[in-house]
Structure 1
Amino acid sequence: GACAEDALRQAGGATHEVEEAARIRDLLRRNGEELHSLLRALNGEYVLPAPGGDLLRDGAGVLPTGRNIHALDPYRVPSKAAMARGLAAAEAAIEQHLREAGSYPETIAVNLWGLEAIKTRGESVGVVLGLIGARPTQEATGRVVRFELLPLEALGRPRVDALCSLSGIFRDTFANVVELLDDVLRRAAEAEDEPPEQNFVRKHFLELQAAEGDAEAAGSRIFSNAAGEFGSLVNERVSAGNWEQTDELGETWAQRNAFAFGRNQRGVERRNVLDALLATSGSMVQLTDSVEYGLTDIQEYYANTGAMVRKMGDLQGRKVSALIVETTQKEVRPRRLEAALRLEYRTKLLNPKWAEAMVAQGSGGAFEVSQRMTALVGWGATARFQESWVYDQGVEQYVFDEETAAKLRASNPEAFRNVVGRFLEASARGMWAPEQEVIERLQETYESLGDELEGMA
């Protein structure tokens, strides 16, 4: 409290971190301003503007709450810091492929998500520019007006082609960035003075132009849902159990994301081009932008990252992995998808303290556990993450631990039934091979929950 802070100051031991923490605490206590600002807005009065953001990333500047928040100027994306971090991620992805495969990747796919770009000021855009060897050019006001290609001599390696997969929010929020990316990618494709073996953007452009007979199509590198559409629908299929073969999920993603965008096209379906680029992709890069939620917490990650690498693998006849870049960390260290998932499952779903906290939250906590079990099946179906130890420990912790199971069942029987059902589904689909006794216990629990829910209806 305040007394402790005063004592620290008098003793000369108050650090900058302690003072900043006290400042943040005081600002958080001003949350009553939210109601005050709401009343001012309803009265048509002025509400003080302020930048929005993540408290952990952006610091006390996002406080107090209750102000008229704005995100960022899309014409200043990427920022200098975002460009530097994106470039580091791009080079790390290229170096990893070179180290493992002995050659440069011809294509690397990048997911560009709207909220990530807002929080990081465009790190994913920096990744794309890093891959193809380009840098942003700013006018005197700081606005980014063009992406310039570096000469191959300055780049020191081939230009790696970039397949840009946009979320609907990014597509609609950063239309100017989409046009700038399209412009620089097409200039790379049309660089006649660069040999195709040193410019994979041009190499693929020439191949696609020969196949499609259309320069506009051959130069397309930016894909998303059709205009006005959002999401891959893969998570809906997984949640409903509405799929038979895993390749159906990769195909669903491709069907939903085969629409090209750029200066001269606003959602033109170009499935052949998308497939050709996926077939040459050595890996894909996914940025995570928050410590509050990760790959295993929400369905959109496996529905996009997982489904994309699934489609890549199906087209290439091999397993393709993704590289995960945690933008909240000081150093840019891409981690393989499988390693990132293992870490998250150990620290969250299979962490007794996390489980205890979720169970203590009642119905909402049970729902969170249920969602993560659905995501576990989703990752198994898309990215082929099917490690038995996760299921073995999970079933013991949430179903066979009598105290935990009783609390989940009492607080949210429907969510608990989904937890049990996902274990049975994983077994039935060949993702997990438990002992027959385990299956029988799960089936008995699942059936009793069905009877219980019927009685409540």
Structure 2
Amino acid sequence: MAEGDKGKQSSTPLYQFFNERQSIIDALSGKMIAPGPSGSPYRGRQDVLPSGRNLFSTDPLSVPTKAAYKQGIKLAEEFLRRSLQDTGEWPSGVIVDLWGSATMRTAGEEFAMALHLIGVKPNWSEGSDRVMGFEILPLAILDRPRIDTTLRVSGLFRDVFPTLSSLFQQAIDALCKRDERKDFNPYVGSKEEDSARIFSSAPNSYGLGMGDAAEQFNAAGRNKAANAWINASQFAVNGSKVIQNKQALISRIQKADSFIHMQDLRETDILISSDYAAHEGGFAAAKAELGGKVNLYHLDNTNPENPITRSLSEEIARVVYARASNPKWIDSMMRHRHRGVQRLLPRYYIWQLLQI
């Protein structure tokens, strides 16, 4: 779909877009399933409809797209606005929680946000949408300091987007060599062993491996969750090269004063799965164990025209209030009797335990 088509509504009846049942029948009958792109209709991707097709993923070499980079600038500026409002200062260290599935849906909006935070712009090949390199924005154009930004990427992101981790690390290495003031470029003078800014789990490993740590509901559980987050994030990533570097990760955690997780889907929320608590709360526990506090932010990107940065506590309160004030949701939980509460309470307790 062309960039200008974003936001347009289709006149085709909605029911005609859903073909999953017929596609399953066709597949079981040995018939061919037509291919189609993956993505989210909520991001203006009308080309992903109708559903029920044999999905192919995003071209990793075309991420971020030009539209995604434009949205990434908006996300970065929104986060910086909220951070300045809360602290009165520019963030000194930011950790971005970056998931591969979200990157596929948004074509790299979150990654583009990280690029803008450090003051870097992608370069696209002429006559193509493929990213071929980067351009460092001068401080005079940026009109603010470069923000020390670290990416904690999922295992899926690590495997699917090695070009992005390589691009980001190349940009960091270039910033280390810039002739700029240290208070405007925190990377200046950094040695190679201190420049790692992309971390993930070990090769062929996925998730945080937290197990029941966060459900022990005590200080020992929080300590276990902190160690699980660190141990599952201690591998520095640079393209296809993944090297264990726990000390570098610990250094980044100690210097971080902000943590960002973004949400691009309206149909999910922060309490729908314990994965959110594992990633966001796990980092908060790790930060607390190493000493110091951090501002935890939830960046709502479900409405691209108006992204909103909320504190983690504000986001939890918003979701709880929306559920508790919805009679239909209450009735659906009551139908499950004690099991409805049994599924919900552990997630609330996890946040209570891990949120610092």
The equivalent of 1:147 in structure 2 is 134
Q: Are 2:297 and 1:323 equivalent residues in the alignment?
A: yes
C-alpha separation in 1, matches of 2:240 and 2:47 = 39
The equivalent of 2:196 in structure 1 is 220
Q: Which shifted more, 300-309 or 351-360?
A: 351-360
The equivalent of 2:269 in structure 1 is 294
* Equivalent residue for 1:169, pick from 156, 171, 179: 156
TM-score by length of 2: 0.89
CA, structure 1 residues 359+62, in 2 after alignment: closer, same or farther (shift >3 Å)?
farther
Question: Which structure carries more helix by proportion?
Answer: 1
Q: Which shifted more, 79-88 or 68-77?
A: 79-88
Q: Write the mapping of 1:19-418 to structure 2, written as runs, cut at 5 A.
A: 20=11, 23-28=13-18, 30-39=19-28, 42=30, 46-58=32-44, 60-140=46-126, 141-191=128-178, 193-202=179-188, 205=190, 209=191, 215=192, 217-234=193-210, 236-239=212-215, 244=220, 246-263=222-239, 265-266=241-242, 268-318=243-293, 320-329=294-303, 330-348=305-323, 351-360=326-335, 362=336, 369-384=341-356
- What is the percentage of aligned positions where both structures have the same residue? 25
**Equivalent position amino acid for 1:160 in 2:** I
CA, structure 1 residues 328+145, in 2 after alignment: closer, same or farther (shift >3 Å)?
same
Number of aligned positions between the proteins: 347
CA, structure 1 residues 60+279, in 2 after alignment: closer, same or farther (shift >3 Å)?
same
The equivalent of 2:5 in structure 1 is none
Structure number, greater radius of gyration: 1
Whether contact under 8 Å (1:164, 1:223) holds in the other structure is: yes
CA, structure 1 residues 324+315, in 2 after alignment: closer, same or farther (shift >3 Å)?
same
1:322, CA displacement in angstroms?
1.6
Secondary structure at the aligned position of 2:308 is classed as: coil
CA, structure 1 residues 94+316, in 2 after alignment: closer, same or farther (shift >3 Å)?
farther
**Equivalent position amino acid for 2:296 in 1:** A
1:128, CA displacement in angstroms?
0.8
Structure 2: segments with no counterpart, 5+ residues: 1-7
C-alpha separation in 1, matches of 2:152 and 2:289 = 18
Structure 1: segments with no counterpart, 5+ residues: 1-15, 210-214, 385-457
Q: Which shifted more, 159-168 or 342-351?
A: 342-351
Whether contact under 8 Å (1:238, 1:374) holds in the other structure is: no
C-alpha separation in 2, matches of 1:236 and 1:144 = 41
C-alpha separation in 1, matches of 2:314 and 2:273 = 18
1:158, CA displacement in angstroms?
1.2
TM-score by length of 1: 0.70
Higher relative contact order (CA 8 A, sep 6+): 2
C-alpha separation in 2, matches of 1:298 and 1:71 = 24
